[in-house]
Amino acid sequence: MLLIMPPHGNCNGDHNHQHDNPEMGIEYSLYSKINTENLECLNEAVEGSGKTVFKPWEDRLNFEVFVESDADQELLFNIPFVGNVKLKGIIIAGEEADNFPNRVRLFKNRPNMTFDDVSSKPDQEFEISQDNQGLLEYATKVVTFNNVHHLSLHFPSNFGADVTRLAYIGLKGEFFEAHHHGVTICNYEIRPNMMDHKNPLNENVSRDVQ
C-alpha cells in the first residue's frame, strides 16, 4: 500500500484510498467548466501546451502531455470559467524530478494577470511536493474561493531545474451557471419608460417647490 504523507500540512490528510475512489473523477471535473478558448499560460515553451494539463482525472498520469516553462522556472495560468465555481481543492501531478514545481500561488478573480502582477499578495499559497500519482490534494479556503469566475495560478519555482514541467492540474469544486442579467435589466428599464409620461408634471412640481 502506498503511503503518502501530507506535504507541509497544507493539504487534505486522507490520501491512501484516493487512487481507487471512483468519485474523484466527478469531484475533479471543473476542467470541463473552463473557458478553454480564453485560457492562457504565460511563459509556456510550446504555444497552447498549458491548456493540455486540464484534463479528465483518469488521464492525469499521462505524462506524455505536459506544459514546460520557456525562459525560466515560472509559469502563470489565467483560467476563466464559463460560470462561477466554488473551488475546494487542487492537485498538481507530473514526473518526480527537479523540474516539478515546488510552490503555487492562487489569485481569485484577477483576469489577464501578467508577471508584473504576481508581486501582489495571493489569496492563498501552497508549498507543493512532487506527486507522480496525482493523489496529493491541497484544500483551498472555501470561503475565500467561493464565487470564482477567474482563477490565476502562479508557479514561481521548482526543485532546482532550469525550467518547470507539470502534466496535470486538477480543480475540485462546485459549478454554478452564470446569472444572465439581460432580462432583469430590461424589466428595470420598462418602469422608467412608463414613468416618462409623468416627467413633465414632476418637473413642474419641482419648479413650483423651488
Mean pLDDT on 193-209 = 45
Global pTM?
0.77
204/157 same-domain check: no
The answer on pLDDT for 10 being more than 70 is no
Q: Which three cell numbers stand for residue 119?
A: 508581486
Q: How many domains does the chain have?
A: 2
Closest CA to 121 of 154, 92, 148: 154
Instruction: State pLDDT tens for residues 88-134.
Output: 999 999 999 999 999 999 999 999 999 999 999 999 999 999 999 99
The answer on pLDDT for 15 being more than 90 is no
Position 202 in a domain? yes
Q: How confident is the model at residue 60, as a pLDDT?
A: 96
- For residue 25, give the CATH number of its domain: 2.60.120.470
Distance from chain centroid for Cα 169:
9
Position 153 in a domain? yes
Mean pLDDT on 3-22 = 44
Q: How far, in Å, CA of 151 to CA of 20, rounded?
A: 29
Which range (20-34, 58-72, 125-139, 187-201) has the least confidence? 187-201
132/33 same-domain check: yes
Average pLDDT of the chain?
83
107/206 same-domain check: no
- The residue range of the domain holding 86 is 7-179
Q: How far, in Å, CA of 165 to CA of 95, rounded?
A: 8
135/197 same-domain check: no
Q: Which three cell numbers stand for residue 148?
A: 470564482
Which range (17-21, 194-198, 201-205) has the least confidence? 201-205
111/86 same-domain check: yes
208/123 same-domain check: no
19/111 same-domain check: yes
The answer on pLDDT for 138 being more than 70 is yes
Q: How confident is the model at residue 2, as a pLDDT?
A: 32
Q: How confident is the model at residue 25, as a pLDDT?
A: 85
Residue type, 55: K
Position 118 in a domain? yes
148/185 same-domain check: no
195/138 same-domain check: no
Position 2 in a domain? no
Share of the chain above pLDDT 90, in %: 71
106/187 same-domain check: no
Q: How far, in Å, CA of 158 to CA of 99, rounded?
A: 6
